[in-house]
């Protein structure tokens, strides 16, 4: 109590000494030069998927876990020489695989964007509310080659695969007309080499396959996968979209979300490949996974009943 009274007396003394205008109320406005500088405007929250993929430790840990599992699998099973590339004309229900011959070198095939590279710079515009633009993306390919960074664990994983004598090949829908810049982006991130030729005559040196090129004018990836598998025994693949493993996962017309989801278990052979030759990397930002209405994503069979006591 005594200490409180002493503090009160000290406070009253300060008020008296301060006199009129001590709080800037009677002497006019404080000069602008004496005001504290305003802080930066609050940044709006990024979309949840972008916060996860580009900003969270959980996504980084998830991605590293996948790379570790992939390298461990290749190290333990490369002697088996089991091809993971589906043969042309096959089906997911009864899949057949391109056979590996005894003299084919081993290879692993990866998508690029959001698999080995993160394109946070390109997604910044979208995060601020601007719609996706194909023109803007091509500008990113051409002028942003020094901006993408490797996904967590990718640099170490690709070095480990190459140290095993396994060739690392990139199969991406980035455009062939920007081959030099796209190769530079991969090399700049520490993931190279990434060597592109417009045909298959230089297959021993080619480690980058691109879309809309002279030899592969389409954006479908199966023709490029078949070309790679004709020269290499492909024992693992990685991507962030199902189409990075087979175009059969993207039938036309596009199936409903749950129907497309079921394709990943279309047969025991397909189901067995996930984590055992095929490796999916997280991408909640864009792509074929992000479709469906509430009713499509949550079919009636999985919904909580309106009355939890109705016994159903």
Distance of CA 38 to CAs 32, 41, 42, 96, Å? 11, 9, 11, 65
Q: Give the list of residues 6+ apart from residue 304 with CB closer than 8 angstroms, or none.
A: none
Between CA 35 and CA 14 the distance in angstroms is: 22
Closest CA to 284 of 110, 153, 109, 114: 114
Torsion over CA: 237, 238, 242, 244 (sign)? negative
Q: What is the pLDDT along the chain (312 residues), one digit of tens a residue?
A: 444 344 434 333 333 333 333 333 444 565 656 666 666 777 888 999 999 999 999 999 999 999 999 999 999 999 999 999 999 999 999 999 999 998 999 999 999 999 999 999 999 999 998 888 989 999 999 999 999 999 999 999 999 999 999 999 999 999 999 999 999 999 999 999 999 998 878 889 999 999 987 666 577 999 999 999 999 999 999 999 999 999 999 999 999 999 999 999 999 999 999 999 999 999 999 999 999 999 999 998 888 876 767 655
Q: Helix or strand or coil: residue 274?
A: strand
Q: What's the angle, vertex CA 199, arms to CA 119 and CA 173, rounded to 5? A: 20
Report all structural domains of the chain as residue ranges with CATH numbers, in order of start. Answer: 48-302 (3.40.50.1000)
| Residue 4 in tokens | 């409180």
Q: What phi, psi does 232 have (nearest 5°)?
A: -120, 155
- CA contacts within 13 A on the Cβ side of 85: 27
pTM, rounded to two decimals: 0.84
């Amino acid at each position: 109590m005594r200490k409180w009274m002493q503090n009160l007396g000290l406070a009253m003394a300060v008020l008296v000494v301060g006199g009129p205008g001590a709080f800037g109320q009677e002497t006019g406005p404080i000069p602008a030069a004496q005001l504290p500088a305003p802080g930066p405007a609050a940044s709006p929250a990024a979309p949840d998927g972008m916060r996860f993929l580009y900003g969270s430790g959980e996504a980084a840990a998830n991605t590293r876990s996948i790379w570790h599992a992939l390298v461990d699998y290749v190290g333990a099973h490369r002697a088996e020489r089991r091809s993971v590339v589906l043969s042309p004309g096959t089906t997911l229900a009864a899949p057949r695989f391109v056979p590996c011959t005894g003299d084919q070198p081993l290879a692993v095939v990866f998508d690029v964007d959001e698999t080995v590279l993160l394109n946070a710079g390109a997604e910044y515009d979208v995060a601020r509310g601007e719609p996706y633009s194909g023109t803007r993306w091509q500008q990113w390919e051409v002028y942003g080659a020094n901006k993408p960074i490797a996904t967590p664990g990718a640099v170490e994983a690709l070095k480990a695969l190459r140290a095993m004598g396994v060739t690392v090949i990139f199969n991406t829908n980035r455009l062939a007309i920007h081959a030099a810049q796209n190769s530079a982006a991969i090399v700049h991130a520490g993931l190279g080499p990434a060597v592109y030729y417009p045909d298959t005559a230089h297959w021993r040196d080619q480690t980058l396959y691109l879309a809309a090129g002279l030899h592969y004018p389409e954006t479908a990836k199966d023709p490029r996968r078949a070309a790679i598998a004709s020269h290499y025994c492909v024992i693992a693949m990685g991507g962030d979209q199902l189409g990075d493993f087979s175009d059969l996962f993207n039938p036309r017309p596009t199936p409903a979300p749950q129907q497309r989801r079921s394709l990943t278990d279309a047969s025991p052979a397909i189901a067995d490949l996930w984590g055992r030759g095929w490796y999916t990397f997280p991408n909640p930002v864009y792509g074929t996974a992000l479709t469906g209405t509430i009713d499509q994503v949550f079919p009636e069979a999985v919904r909580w009943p309106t009355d939890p006591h109705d016994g159903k």
